[in-house]
Amino acid sequence: MSTFQKEVVIDGKGHLLGRLASIVAKQLLNGQKVTVVRAEEINITGPFFRNKLKYMAFLRKRCIVNPARGVFHFRAPSRIFWRTVRGMVPHKTPRGAAALERLKVFEGVPPPYDRKKRMVVPQALRVLRLSPGRKFTVLKRISSEFGWKYQDVVARLEEKRKTKSKAYYEKKKALLRIRVQAEKKVAGQLTAEKQTLAAAGY
């Protein structure tokens, strides 16, 4: 992600939480707008039970006098990722606050991002970074254990999106096939025109 783009859409599936967050944080501070979709499919290293104990320890950290003051324990995968990025950004300064404004995180792939090109970050992919056989946890499982109620809803919407996307792709392939056939059919008839264009430098 070295070149600057108007907006970068990252598919969070199969990425490691901390590694992805650190790369996203750096891009945000450089002025890049970043959107992360499918946050519920982000992975955390370590077995589920260990990560559950860690989150339970995090839940115990609260203000004794008035717990409503904070710490705020987010349950949704998108907010867990957002909070991880916030910890890597100087969010109390104007520069850091502006950087966080450039970040959007979603569960699933809502419109209009279902029609946009989504990218992966190789430096943060679990299959490239974690040794084979090592245990990992999917973020949606942790979230649903601690009170996130929308795992089934997101799964249903994702199934619908994938069906729709597959139909669109099949249609696109069919149209491309027809176009290639049409180009082959008229290739012999355009020899004179091609020579003229080649002479003109096209």
Looking at residue 89, its pLDDT comes to 97
Looking at residue 187, its pLDDT comes to 78
Determine the Cα–Cα distance for residues 90 and 29; give it in Å rounded to an integer.
Answer: 9
Q: For 157-192, b where at least 16 C-beta lie within 10 A, e where not — what string?
A: ebeeeeeeeeeeeeeeeeeeeeeeeeeeeeeeeeee
What does the pLDDT profile of the chain (202 residues) look like in tens digits?
656 789 999 999 999 999 999 999 999 999 999 999 999 999 999 999 999 999 999 999 999 999 999 899 999 999 999 999 999 999 999 999 999 999 999 999 999 999 999 999 999 999 999 999 999 999 999 999 999 999 999 999 999 999 999 999 999 999 999 999 988 888 777 777 888 888 888 7
Angle between helices 17-29 and 77-86 (to 10 degrees): 60
Looking at residue 2, its pLDDT comes to 58
Written as one string, the DSSP assignment of 66-85 is: -GGGS-----SHHHHHHHHH
**Six-digit token pair at 146?**
């601690």
Which are the contacts of 97, defined by CB distance < 8 A and separation ≥ 6?
Answer: 91
Query: Token match 């008035």: residue?
Result: 66
Looking at residue 141, its pLDDT comes to 97
Residue 108: which of 23, 21, 35 has the closest Cα? 35
Looking at residue 193, its pLDDT comes to 80
